[in-house]
Every structure is written in C-alpha cells, then in structure tokens.
Structure 1
C-alpha cells in the first residue's frame, strides 16, 4: 500500500467516527484530530493529495475539514541534497 493510500485510509477512518456525531461537529472534529495527532509530514502529504490530486479517495468530511487543518511549511531540503 502506498504512503498516500495509507494516509487516505487513516483520514477516512477519522471521518467515519465523526459521521456518527452531530453534523455540525464533523469538520471541526476531523480537523482538530489531524492537527493534534498528525505530524507535519503527514499533513503535507494530505495537502498534496488535496492540491495535486483533487482529494481523490478522501471522504467528504475530510474535504470539509481541509480549510481548518493547519498547513505546515514546506519541508526543508537538506544541504547535501541540493
């Protein structure tokens, strides 16, 4: 399973939980969980899926949460890789 597919599955599992909660809590709940527990690298990958792949495979609740998720700064390229 590719890293992107695993990340989509994880995000969708969070959304599945929040589908059982009141609708008004869904996007904020998904975003709060991702902001609190996902490291910047994972959030960068999520934004890559949204920005470059149209959010392919992501639950509608995850997509609704995207504006509330903290976008991390771009990863720094190590000097040796330049």
Structure 2
C-alpha cells in the first residue's frame, strides 16, 4: 500500500474520531469503531488495522482505540494474520 493511501485513511479515521470526541455522551471509541465497521469497506478496515499492527503512527487516541477495537473482531483479525500463523 502506498504511503499516501495510509495517510488518507489515518486522516479520515482521525476526523471520525474527532467528530465523536465532540459528542459528550456515549463511548466515543465504541461509536467511532461502529462507524468504521458500518461505513468503511472491509479493504479499508483491513488496511487501517494493518497500520495499527505496525504501530499506528498518526492516529489520535480515539481513532487508535477504535481501530484496535475493530481489530478484535474475529473476521478482521483472521484476514490480517499471515497465512499459517
């Protein structure tokens, strides 16, 4: 994946996290994770999960927590792990 496409995903995830951080009620990380699961196609989610597995540079705390939460989803986690792992 190109560096610029990761930058785009990081920027988008951060914007979503910032939106939910302004919402003072509810679980901001859960709300962000739910948004990513509902509105991002699996290929985008896989790329951002892989980015977090490599350190997650550039993600704000809410976006980082949300991506970690979606990475716990068995479907996503199985697709990110290398074959034979």
TM-score (normalised: structure 2): 0.75
Where does residue 17 of structure 1 map in the other structure?
A: 19
Distance 1:9 1:27 in 2: 16
Q: Which runs of 4+ in 1 moved over 3 A?
A: none
Tell me if the contact between 1:15 and 1:61 (Cα under 8 Å) persists in the aligned partners: yes
Report how many residues are paired: 74
Q: Give 5+ residue unaligned stretches, structure 1.
A: 76-82
Where does residue 58 of structure 1 map in the other structure?
A: 59
Distance 1:9 1:66 in 2: 13
Q: Deviations over 1:28-77 (max 9, x none)?
A: 1100000000111001110111001x1100010011223431426438xx
Q: Give 5+ residue unaligned stretches, structure 2.
A: 81-85
Distance 2:15 2:63 in 1: 10
Q: Cα distance 1:4–1:32, how it changes in 2: closer, same or farther (>3 A)?
A: same
TM-score (normalised: structure 1): 0.78
Pick the aligned partner of 1:40 from 39, 42, 46.
Answer: 42
